[in-house]
Amino acid sequence: MDNTQPRMRWWGWGEDGNDGPIKPGAKKMLTKNCGWPDGVNNPPVELGAVQLPAAGLPDDARTRFEELLGAEFVRDDHATRVSHAAGRSLPDLLRLRSADLPFAPDVVLYPASHAEVDALLAICAQERIAVVPFGGGTSVVAGIDAFRPGFRSCVCISLARLDQILDIDEESLTATVQAGVFGPDLEEKLQASGFTLGHFPQSFEFSTVGGWVATRSAGQQSTGYGRIDDNVFGLRCSTPSGPVELRSTPATAAGPNPRQVFVGSEGTLGIITQATLRIKRLPETTLPDAWFFPDFHSGAAALREIEQSGLRPDIARLSDLNETAFGLAQLGSDIQRKGLLAFLRARGVTTPCMLVLRYDGRKADAKSRRAGGRAIARKHQGVTMGGAPETQWEKHRFSTPYLRDQLMTEGVIVETMETAAPWSRIESLHDTIKADIEKAMADRGTPALVLCHISHLYTAGCSLYYTVFAQQQVGQEMEQWKTLKTAAGNAMVDNGGTITHHHAAGADHAPWLPRETGELWLRMLRAAKAEVDPEGIMNPGKLMNGPSAL
């Protein structure tokens, strides 16, 4: 496969042919909560109509790039620039579809080796050219937007050709892979040898190992398989001041941990070219389970007890009332849904909150953990329907992002946000976030439908994930987004949550960093960055150097 060809359609999520209709039940729910913008048909513009900023690459820099990589791998045709100009946040999608792209790289570079990446960064530092590292381009925090504050030129360095799985150490259960490997390619190779990384973010199909490491990503199975930060041992990172190579060590006490500084560095320190990751043997079995609770509170209490009892579910996801209702309306058939609701009503559950779980491992062990989990769910008034709802959820888990594109065509905007906090704060935090979003959006005259789920369990806490729908305010979408983002971000950070559990900081979350970690830590980070990137060319305007106000 030629990885330099974009895998995603340029204007939205994933590949063509996956857009399903909005089902009547879901539409009804949206109408009730947000109103429905009747008769809107607002498809994306044509690729040719997209306006890009003028490219400003100096000729001598281009010559040096071409000498290094070959002209074929220095591309600035319209399609290439557009497909590397934006991630997949709501503002990104709004801009892409409206054809007004204020940020785009001048050129996209495709190095094929560590040495080529090193050399590119050295050239860019000499020429003072801003650099945006690019994995799959699925960022939802403006992480790959081609900001160029103070720079005349900005290049995108794609990791697409660093796509090799270099080594599987079956004895140490680690795999050494290049940064540009896409999720499906990695899992295919690992699984063929009987292993898995178990890292399945919802963006799995279109995101890369380097992107995961750079953003401190968490997959949907992180409860069992760990976040990417738990699973990175060795690491290689090219910086403008030269490469940093961290050997693969299971643990060390040799001072502050450099891995945990490069992990999550979002391209601001350098380009991760290679990582050594902890892998696991493919589980003997995976056992699905699903429950419906009478309310969010009892479901959350069950989840907490399951996790803290050491039953280690590998997947665990509890939807609130709204998300449960929306999911049933959008994903299943109407008959299924009505049957289920009647079944639950008969058992006293009138406002169901769905919990899906999966237990992976050796058969006997997974069974006994599931049995333990079931006893706890029952104790907390859960009603079970066996494993089918989990299987159903898994089947659709990579398809829901397509709905966002479809809704935007019909005049409804969708944004997602997430946080994490200790268990003792989770419920009050959730109440505040939901109420603050609803109030802020209602105050704008575009009331929101807010869905939420708990996922990614830890003994000390969990994450909360929000999906928010509202009618699009044509011409004021960006203000609308800022209203939403500000309300949610403030509610999170002012009430003991983090501004992001797995979406990273990028530019969009940067305004909350001082409040979350304090200004002193950001100064430390900036100082550390200045050592590896004295010219400040690496992904300017993001993370520690992001906008100080949204």
For ligand FAD, the closer of residues 253 and 549 by Cβ is 253
Q: Is 27 exposed, middle or buried (0-12, 13-18, 19+ CB in 10 A)?
A: middle
Partner interacting with residue 198 (select from ligand FAD, a copy of itself, none; CB below 5-8 Å by kind): none
For a copy of itself, the closer of residues 253 and 346 by Cβ is 253
Applying CB under 8 A, among 37, 447, 496, 514 the residue interacting with a copy of itself is 496
Nearest residue to 377 via CA among 457, 309, 430, 325: 309
Give SS3 for 195: strand
For a copy of itself, the closer of residues 113 and 260 by Cβ is 260
Site for ligand FAD contains 214 (CB under 6 A): yes
Q: Cα separation of 288 and 374, whole Å?
A: 11
Residues in region 239-268 near a copy of itself by CB under 8 A:
239, 241-242, 244-266
Amino acid at 210: G
Nearest residue to 216 via CA among 531, 509, 546: 509
The pairing of beta strand 232-239 with beta strand 242-246:
antiparallel
Contact 531, 261 (CB under 8 A): no
For ligand FAD, the closer of residues 312 and 502 by Cβ is 502
Partner interacting with residue 207 (select from ligand FAD, a copy of itself, none; CB below 5-8 Å by kind): ligand FAD
CB of 420 to a copy of itself, least distance (A): 5
What lies within 8 Å, CB to CB, of 505 at 6+ separation is 141, 266, 499, 513, 542, 543, 546
Q: Cα separation of 454 and 466, whole Å?
A: 9
Site for a copy of itself contains 310 (CB under 8 A): yes
| 267 known member of a binding site | yes
Distance of CA 80 to the CA centre of its chain: 23
CB of 302 to a copy of itself, least distance (A): 14
Name the active-site residue from 110, 359, 402, 465.
465
Contact 358, 312 (CB under 8 A): no
Partner interacting with residue 513 (select from ligand FAD, a copy of itself, none; CB below 5-8 Å by kind): a copy of itself
Partner interacting with residue 159 (select from a copy of itself, ligand FAD, none; CB below 5-8 Å by kind): ligand FAD
Partner interacting with residue 261 (select from a copy of itself, ligand FAD, none; CB below 5-8 Å by kind): a copy of itself
Partner interacting with residue 132 (select from a copy of itself, ligand FAD, none; CB below 5-8 Å by kind): ligand FAD
Partner interacting with residue 137 (select from a copy of itself, ligand FAD, none; CB below 5-8 Å by kind): ligand FAD
Q: Is 39 exposed, middle or buried (0-12, 13-18, 19+ CB in 10 A)?
A: exposed
Residues in region 270-329 near ligand FAD by CB under 6 A:
271-272
For ligand FAD, the closer of residues 272 and 376 by Cβ is 272
For ligand FAD, the closer of residues 455 and 471 by Cβ is 455
Site for ligand FAD contains 539 (CB under 6 A): yes
Residues in region 498-537 near a copy of itself by CB under 8 A:
498-505, 509, 512-513, 516-518, 520-521, 523-532
Options 22-30, 209-217, 278-286, 323-331: segment touching ligand FAD (CB under 6 A)? 209-217
Residues in region 126-155 near ligand FAD by CB under 6 A:
132-140, 143-144
CB of 89 to a copy of itself, least distance (A): 15
Q: In this structure, what is the dihedral angle of CA atoms 142, 265, 244, 249, given to the nearest 10 degrees? A: -130
Q: Cα separation of 327 and 220, whole Å?
A: 17
Q: Cα separation of 82 and 402, whole Å?
A: 20
Site for a copy of itself contains 144 (CB under 8 A): no
Give SS3 for 536: coil
Residues in region 220-279 near ligand FAD by CB under 6 A:
220, 266-267, 271-272
What lies within 8 Å, CB to CB, of 10 at 6+ separation is 47, 79, 82, 83, 96
Site for ligand FAD contains 210 (CB under 6 A): yes
Contact 150, 127 (CB under 8 A): no
Lookup: tokens for 442: 């209602």
Q: Cα separation of 277 and 432, whole Å?
A: 37
Options 8-16, 183-191, 335-343, 422-430: segment touching a copy of itself (CB under 8 A)? 422-430
Annotate each residue in 32-61 with x if it binds a copy of itself (CB under 8 A) or - if it does not, as one string. ------------------------------
Site for ligand FAD contains 105 (CB under 6 A): no
Distance of CA 61 to the CA centre of its chain: 33
Nearest residue to 472 via CA among 77, 36, 99, 48: 36
| 271 known member of a binding site | yes
Give SS3 for 372: helix
Site for ligand FAD contains 91 (CB under 6 A): no
Q: Is 465 a known active-site residue? A: yes
Site for a copy of itself contains 153 (CB under 8 A): no
CB of 166 to a copy of itself, least distance (A): 14
CA distances from 405 to 27, 42, 157, 387 (A): 15, 10, 27, 30
For 272, other C-beta atoms within 10 Å of its C-beta total 31
Q: Which residues line the annotated binding site for substrate?
A: 404
Active-site residue list: 465
